[in-house]
């Protein structure tokens, strides 16, 4: 499976540095270049989507309509969700995979370098198209990131067609990225690296890639049906023609629930790399981590209707989806306990990546618990479409997915740039983010339980105080990300020289190559280091 003879041949003439100028970035097939482009793109989208979130929070600072039109507010909530999911979180994980997977498994590059280039370069065009809808007649999509039909078909602004094609392009990009990662991990491991020696980041990404391949085509099918309903007179979701709007929700969430695990499984992988490094202990329960990840992935296909408890599914269905959803807490709990057990009696130090990883474990668990509350079908009728849901998924996505990405970036930044990051600024960034995130999202639990609906620009007076607190927290969190941007740029430009093994306890093949990692690594398949064997 892992014969690398052909790779040596094809790569023997490429032992030179990168090309110069813009062409380097346009035509590159180097996994490190493409990984960097993914990460920069994701950072840009994170800031764009974040600005939209700040507009939302500014409007919600006080009850009443102050700053933006309600229609524009709806466009902001929609685009904020779409950009953060498809533009910030997913490309960041693909970028990390591009950079790290070949280096972790001892491969010279991704399996399909040209396709790799293509799957990145689709994204800027897709998001340019999506953002261009802001300037169109009728405005940008305003139906929420879940784009429920017929709101997104019969009642949608004309720009919805651009939205549909943007989703198609993002889907194609993700599918190609996923195929590439699977091919790399399955075919290009260095001799001796069996599947059960694979670093967990690779394992979680492998499973994520299979999820992507299973559900992104379904999403493409759903938006294609919308396209046909809008332009070709079909009635997939139009009750007037014998279609069914509830069908849309089933199809969407059949994609949507695995999608939320696509956004968290690679995070589990990153955390499973970082905690052992700073606890200076091997990861506790490696095999159980792998099986837990796989179980979560399989269960994710069986729980989609817990997003639709209120559409009128029968009691038996509600019970099935309720119990299936609660079952997911078991493998997730296995993971959390394994991380805690890894830290137990470890020689822990608290550098910036570890701080983010620890915050991940605590805050993701809080998000998981509110998810369990939402899984209880009878009470979901109260929580449905309230700020409680907003609080829940922001707890798993912001201090979950986003914190893990930041932890990963801080952890591997010395490997990428050859410089240690500014630890003092990193900690400042961490503490401001940690405090900001909790001030923003924790009050949302309370206003949600009290009944404030989501996606509204105005609210009743009794929600005013908590909304004001949340808005203050949002600006604190949002602005503190500028420290992150500053720190990354400073680290690229200079800083204390990083050693090959930048962190004392870090293990794995990626720490065997010098820092910064040379443009081409592992042209010859490496021997596994003692610690991995």
Partner 1 sequence: MSLHAANRKLVMRLAFGCVLMFGFGFALVPLYDVFCEVTGLNGKITNTGPIAASEADTSREIRVRLIAVHNEEMPWQFGPQQGLILTHPGEMKQTAFMATNPTGRRMVGQAIPSVAPAEAARYLHKVNCFCFEQQTLQPGESVEMPLLFVVDKNLPEHIRSLTLSYTLFDISPEVSSTGRGEKEQSL
Position of tokens 């699977």?
182
Residue 257 appears among annotated catalytic residues: yes
| Smallest separation (angstroms) from partner 1 to the CB of 41 | 23
Contact indicator for 268, 290 with CB cutoff of 8 Å: no
**Cβ neighbours around 367 below 10 Å, total:** 20
User: Is 149 one of the binding residues for partner 1 (CB under 8 A)?
Assistant: no
Instruction: Decide if residue 194 touches partner 1 (CB under 8 A).
Output: no
Active-site position among 31, 32, 57, 306:
306
# chain residues binding partner 1, by CB under 8 A: 45
Instruction: Write down the residue that tokens 């052909």 correspond to.
Output: 6
From CA 98, how far away is CA 289, in angstroms rounded? 22
The single residue among 48, 58, 244, 500 that binds partner 1, judged by CB under 8 A, is 244
**Within positions 82 to 111, which residues make up the interface with partner 1, using CB under 8 A?**
111
205 included as an active-site residue: no
Three-state secondary structure call for residue 230: helix
Report the distance separating Cα 451 and Cα 240, nearest Å: 33
Under rule CB under 8 A, residue 240 binds partner 1: yes
225 touching partner 1, by CB under 8 A: yes
Q: What angle do CA 377, 444, 387 make, to 5 degrees?
A: 45
Smallest distance from partner 1 to CB 148, Å: 16
Using the 8-state DSSP alphabet, how is residue 338 labeled?
A: H
**In the complex, what is the shortest distance from the CB of residue 232 to partner 1, in angstroms, rounded to a whole number?**
7
Stretch that binds partner 1, among 67-75, 212-220, 283-291, 431-439 (CB under 8 A): 212-220
Indicate whether 517 belongs to the interface with partner 1 (CB under 8 A).
no
Member of 161, 187, 288, 295 binding partner 1 (CB under 8 A): 187
Q: Alpha-carbon distance 475 to 514, whole Å?
A: 39
Residues near 30 by beta carbon (within 8 Å), at least 6 away in sequence: 18, 109, 113, 519, 520
- Taking the complex as a whole, how short is the minimal distance between the CB of residue 58 and partner 1, in angstroms? 35
Residue 241, Cβ neighbours under 10 Å: how many?
Answer: 11
Q: Where are the alpha helices (DSSP H) in 450-515?
A: 464-493
Chosen residue from 213, 379, 432, 435 binding partner 1 by CB under 8 A: 213
Residue 489 within binding range of partner 1, rule CB under 8 A:
no
What is each CA distance from 389 to 73, 89, 145, 172, 317, in whole angstroms? 19, 19, 14, 29, 21
What is the Cα–Cα distance from 459 to 107, expressed in whole angstroms?
55
Instruction: Kindly tell me which of 21 and 242 has the beta carbon lying closer to partner 1.
Output: 242
Q: Which of 67, 214, 294, 379 touches partner 1 by CB under 8 A?
A: 214
- List the one residue from 48, 218, 456, 464 that touches partner 1 (CB under 8 A): 218
Whether 244 is a known active-site residue: answer no
The least CB distance from residue 181 to partner 1, in Å, is 10
* Two structure tokens written together for 75: 């466009």
Q: Is 306 a catalytic residue?
A: yes
Residue from 18, 63, 144, 221 that binds partner 1 (CB under 8 A)? 221
- C-beta of 177: minimal distance to partner 1 in Å? 12
Rounded to the nearest whole angstrom, what is the least distance from the CB of residue 377 to partner 1 in the complex? 16
**Catalytic (active site) residue 332:** yes
236 binds partner 1 (CB under 8 A): yes
Does the active-site annotation cover 250?
no
Q: How many CA atoms are closer than 13 Å to the CA of 388, on its beta-carbon side? A: 21
Asked whether position 251 contacts partner 1 by CB under 8 A, the answer is yes
As a whole number of angstroms, the distance between CA 476 and CA 481 comes to 9
In 10 A of CB 278, how many CB atoms?
25
* Burial class of residue 530 (count of CB atoms within 10 Å of its CB; 0-12, 13-18, 19+): exposed
530 catalytic, yes or no? no
Residue closer to partner 1, measured from CB, 239 or 482: 239
Q: Is 5 an annotated catalytic residue?
A: no
80 catalytic residue (yes or no): yes
Half-sphere CA count of 380, side-chain side, radius 13 A:
20
Tokens of 533: 């064997």
Instruction: Determine if 12 is a binding residue for partner 1 (CB under 8 A).
Output: no
Q: Which one of the listed residues 31, 307, 394, 445 is annotated catalytic? A: 307
Among 83, 97, 222, 264, binds partner 1 (CB under 8 A): 222
Helix H, strand E, coil C: the string for 250-300 is HHHHHHHHHHHHHCCHHHHHHHHHHHHHHHCCCCCCHHHHHHHHHHHHHHH
Most distant CA atoms of the chain, gap in Å: 70
Tell me if residue 531 is catalytic.
no
Which CB atom, from 180 or from 433, has the smaller least distance to partner 1? 180
54-62, 69-77, 127-135, 247-255 -> range binding partner 1 (CB under 8 A): 247-255
Please, which residue, 101 or 219, has the CB nearer to partner 1?
219
Which residue from 67, 112, 134, 432 is in contact with partner 1, where contact means CB under 8 A? 112
Confirm if 443 and 469 have CB atoms less than 8 A apart: yes
Interface of this chain with partner 1, residues 304 to 363, rule: CB under 8 A: 312-314, 317
Looking at the DSSP bridge assignments, the partners of residue 497 are 419
Structure tokens, 183: 């091919």
272 included as an active-site residue: yes
Q: How far apart are CA 385 and CA 164, in angstroms?
A: 24
- Residue of 239, 340, 362, 485 that binds partner 1 (CB under 8 A): 239
Q: Is 145 a catalytic residue?
A: yes
Residue numbers annotated as active site = 80, 109, 145, 173-174, 257, 259, 261, 272, 306-307, 332, 335, 454
Interacting residue ranges for partner 1, rule: CB under 8 A: 1, 3-7, 111-112, 175, 178-179, 182-183, 186-188, 213-222, 225, 232-233, 235-236, 239-242, 244, 246-247, 250-251, 254, 312-314, 317
């Amino acid at each position: 499976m892992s014969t690398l003879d052909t790779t040596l041949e094809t790569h023997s003439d490429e032992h030179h540095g990168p090309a110069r100028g813009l062409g380097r970035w346009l035509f590159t097939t180097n996994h490190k270049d493409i990984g960097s482009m993914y990460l920069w793109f994701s950072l840009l989208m994170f800031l764009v989507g974040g600005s939209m979130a700040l507009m939302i929070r500014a409007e919600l600072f006080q009850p009443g309509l102050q700053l933006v039109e309600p229609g524009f507010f709806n466009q902001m909530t929609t685009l904020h969700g779409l950009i953060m999911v498809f533009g910030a979180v997913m490309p960041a994980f693909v970028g990390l995979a591009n950079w790290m997977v070949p280096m972790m498994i001892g491969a010279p590059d991704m399996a399909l370098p040209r396709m790799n280039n293509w799957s990145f370069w689709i994204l800027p065009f897709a998001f340019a198209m999506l953002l261009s809808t802001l300037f169109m007649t009728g405005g940008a999509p305003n139906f929420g990131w879940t784009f429920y039909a017929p709101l997104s078909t019969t009642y949608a602004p004309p720009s919805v067609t651009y939205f549909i094609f943007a989703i198609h392009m993002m889907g194609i990009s993700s599918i190609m990225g996923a195929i590439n990662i699977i091919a790399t991990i399955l075919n290009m491991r260095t001799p001796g690296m069996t599947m059960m020696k694979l670093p967990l980041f690779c394992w979680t990404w492998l499973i994520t890639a299979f999820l992507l391949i299973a559900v992104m085509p379904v999403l493409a099918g759903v938006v294609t049906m919308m396209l046909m309903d809008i332009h070709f007179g079909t009635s997939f979701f139009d009750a007037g023609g014998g279609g069914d709007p509830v069908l849309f929700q089933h199809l969407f969430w059949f994609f949507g629930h695995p999608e939320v695990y696509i956004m968290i499984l690679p995070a589990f992988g990153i955390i499973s790399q970082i905690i052992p490094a700073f606890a200076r202990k091997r990861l506790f329960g490696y095999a159980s981590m792998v099986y837990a990840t796989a179980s979560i992935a399989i269960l994710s296909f069986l729980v989609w209707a817990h997003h639709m408890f209120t559409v009128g599914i029968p009691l038996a269905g509600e019970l099935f989806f309720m119990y299936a959803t609660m079952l997911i807490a078991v493998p997730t709990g296995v993971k959390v306990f394994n991380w805690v057990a890894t830290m137990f009696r470890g020689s822990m130090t608290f550098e910036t990546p570890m701080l983010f990883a620890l915050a991940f474990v605590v805050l993701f668990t809080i998000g998981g618990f509110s998810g369990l509350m939402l899984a209880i079908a009878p009470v979901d009728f109260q929580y449905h479409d309230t700020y409680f849901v907003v609080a829940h998924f922001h707890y798993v996505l912001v201090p979950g997915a986003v914190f893990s990405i930041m932890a990963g970036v801080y952890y591997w930044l010395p490997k990428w740039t050859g410089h240690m990051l500014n630890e003092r600024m990193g900690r400042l960034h961490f503490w401001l983010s940690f405090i900001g995130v909790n001030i923003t999202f924790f009050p949302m639990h309370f206003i949600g339980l009290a009944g404030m609906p989501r996606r509204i620009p105005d609210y009743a007076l009794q929600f005013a105080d908590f909304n004001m607190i949340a808005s203050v927290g949002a600006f604190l969190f949002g602005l503190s990300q500028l420290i992150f941007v500053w720190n990354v740029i400073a680290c690229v430009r200079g800083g204390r020289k990083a050693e090959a093994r930048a962190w004392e306890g870090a293990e794995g093949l990626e720490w065997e190559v010098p820092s910064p990692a040379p443009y081409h690594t592992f042209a010859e398949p490496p021997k596994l280091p003692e610690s991995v064997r």
